[in-house]
A and B are shown apart, each in its own frame.
Chain A
Amino acid sequence: MNLEYDAKEQQFRKQVRSFIEANLPADLRAKVLNHKRLTREDYRKWHLILYAQGWVAPNWPREYGGAAWTPVQRHIWEEETTRAGAPNVISFGINMLGPVLMEFGTKAQKDHYLPRILNCEDWWCQGYSEPGSGSDLASLKTSAEWIEDESGAYYLVNGQKTWTTLAQHANMIFCLVRTTTSMRKQEGISFLLINMKSQGVSLRPIITLDEDHEINEVFFDNVRVPVDNLVGEENLGWTYAKYLLSHERNNVAEVGRSKRELRFLKHLAMTTPSQNGSLLDDPLFARKVALLEAEMMALEITNLRVVSSDHGNSEPGPEVSMLKIVGTEVQQRLTELMVETVGPYSLPFDVDFLEGRRETAVTGHDAAAPLTAHYLNFRKASIYGGSNEIQKNIISRMILGL
């Protein structure tokens, strides 16, 4: 048992740190650190900087243009980039579709799509959830019918997806569609790649309770999809979906971000006056922060225990559910305490400031302005990616055998 990072890992951290210092644009950093909303161009900018360095796909093997880092290196990378206030690399292409194509795609699919994911030519979104099939994903209804006519063979897709994150920025969507209804509901599902520009695809924004446009409904009305866009075999989509979900859970603990947010919270509390000096000197408030800090320290080690046990590239096991639950609870608690810290300045809802149309907040201070919206937005964390209740089902079934 040795809980220290070894010399190579420390060296790697240094290398990462100096790269970020030299390359992360200051305006992007400021936006991220202050919880402001990012544009498509913001995400793209950072993506392309990483692409130029060859670091945009830490988990991909070198043959496909990835960095092929070990799980511990990836952890360090995540910690350092988030610490510095870099935006997330949007994970749909890099972390989700990429690994599926490498494992199950045809050579033509790999050759065409993988480089386009790396250089951000394609922006992917994920067509999984549907109205009525949330956690019970396998009950999905969007249909893809195999048609052969004078123009050749194609799939005719009809149905609706929902909660589609950042679909307004995407030109491609990977979808789970039902190709057969006669089988068990987990069978008869296929994995299809669809161009968002196809005739019959339409989009409707869903404005979330923080009045942000982050998610969408996607409608398919007699959309023709080339049969070459099928990944793997027809009706085996559920297998690929599960494989993808296991990769979706990379970095599910979000330790790096939570550490950054804890620092933010403390600075905020230290500059907030209270009867005892600063709010962080108030024993009642300090207690809340200290309890959260202990939970986070434990999460960091729990995460490292899971990460470092993954020596090869084995799929993460059910213990990842634990990371999802604790990780999201910690994130939510952080947002809660931030709102509490700024007190009355949590009230103003300053959309112009949030979206960068105005330089300074309408009242209070700039750091305070986005926090309530941020808190509201983060209620999603215990719902998405399999709700925390579903994660408890997974632990009780797969780890405890209940």
Chain B
Amino acid sequence: MDFTLTEEQAQLSDTLCRWLEKEYGFEQRRDTIASKNGTCARAWTGLSDLGLLALPVPEVLNGFGASGADMFGVMEALGKALLVEPYLATVSGIEFLKHDQDRFAGLLGQAASGVVRLACALGERQSRFDRFDVEMTTRIEGGAHVLNGRKTVVVHGAQADHLIVSARTAGNTRDPDGITLFVVPSDIRGLCRTDYRTIDGMRAADIEFANVRLPDSARLGAAGEAWPIIDAVSDYTCALLCAEAVGIMQAVNDTTLEYLKMRRQFDQPIGAYQALQHRMAELFIEVEQARSLAMLAASVARSDETSKRRHTISAAMIRVGQAATRVGQEVIQMHGGIGMSNEMQVAHYFKRLSVFGALEGDIDHHVARLARQPEFRHPD
């Protein structure tokens, strides 16, 4: 058993942190958020030059074949820097493409070199966090798949060159069987994207599909059998989100600690008050507990033992979700009035932590899922 990073992992994480500090400061980020596109081409090139996009791509396609554990340090560092580029969306997209590696080798190669960006269009108005709840339809017409429907809150959907889209080929709305995945170029005819800002400084889009015609070569995996893939990639994405949140919480705790030592009230640093000392100690524990499960989640992120993977990932989403809310709220409170100012970085950390549960399932969603796994019902 070993909890330390390997030499390569530590080196990558160090290099990335140095690069982010130099090239991706708070002001740089602010300008990006304010820009028309909401992303920064220069930052994207930088990330891709560092090899970050090739990292999760298999070695046979010129990638590095990174494990979940390898990605842990990367996501932690990106969390600290509050990256708003479509990295996570692209990496999740890569994870999808890997499930049909032969067919999408070309696209995987392009993603690895940073030439294309990906996004995952899975959520719909009625589906909340249930990715099997798919109303979008597809029918075969003249040898083509014809997609109709609407995907909502697709993170970085308008910044992506290709979308991974779920559509129903059979069954009822909430039936896990009968879902098929497609890889859709975003400039295809019949596709309309409404781009908007999200509260945490990123972008998302609602995407309308009106008779979007796709060749069979756009199908990812077997027809009607997409659910296990969607489930697995969602879990992988959850693991990365947990690592990112740990990075954010560590950063925001460090910042708050500095503040408690510096800020004086009633002739002493506010950190001299036991009421705040104990709360800060509790936040320290929150982060360490969250880190433990984020590490565990990273280590099972791609496990084939499905129910065990779900059990662990959900536990991580629960515990990290609790920590994210508590740490976020507490650091704003401890900063006092200044914490409410949008000029303060701590406010932006708080906003990102606040969306944690809305991305891949909130605490209630994951509690219910954890309780459905055999591991919960039948303790050994």
Contact = CB atoms under 8 A, between A and B. Distances in A.
Interface of A: 1-6, 9, 72, 262-263, 266-267, 270, 280, 283, 286-287, 289-291, 293-295, 297-302, 304-305, 308-309, 319, 322, 325-326, 389, 391-393, 395-397, 399-402
Contact of A9 (B1, B293, B296): B1
B281 A290 contact: no
Nearest to B380: A263
Contacts of A402: 257, 260-261, 271-272, 276-277, 280
A396 B280 contact: yes
Interface in B269-294: 271-272, 274, 276-278, 280-282, 284-285, 288-293
Contacts of B358: none
Contacts of A297: 292-293, 296, 312, 315, 319
Nearest to B312: A297
Contacts of A301: 292-293, 295-296
A389 B379 CA distance: 33
B292 A302 contact: yes
B210 interface: no
Interface in B304-319: 312, 314-316, 318-319
Interface in B1-35: 1-6, 9
Contacts of B371: 283, 286-287, 289-290
Nearest to B272: A402
B367 A1 contact: no
Nearest to A288: B367
Contacts of A299: 289, 292
Contacts, number: 138
B299 interface: yes
A1 B5 contact: yes
A286 B288 CA distance: 25
Contact of A1 (B278, B285, B295): B295
- A interface majority secondary structure: helix
B295 A3 contact: yes
B334 to A, nearest CB: 12
27 contacts: A1-B5, A1-B299, A2-B69, A3-B3, A3-B296, A72-B1, A262-B379, A266-B379, A287-B364, A290-B376, A294-B314, A294-B318, A297-B293, A301-B292, A301-B293, A302-B288, A302-B291, A305-B292, A308-B2, A389-B278, A392-B277, A396-B280, A396-B281, A399-B284, A400-B284, A402-B271, A402-B272
When A and B form their complex, which 4 residue pairs have the shortest distance between CB atoms, in order from nearest? A301-B292, A396-B277, A395-B281, A392-B281
A397 B277 CA distance: 8
Nearest to B369: A290
Contacts of A263: 379-380
Contacts of B60: none
Contacts of A325: 285
Contacts of B277: 392-393, 396-397, 400, 402
B376 A293 contact: yes
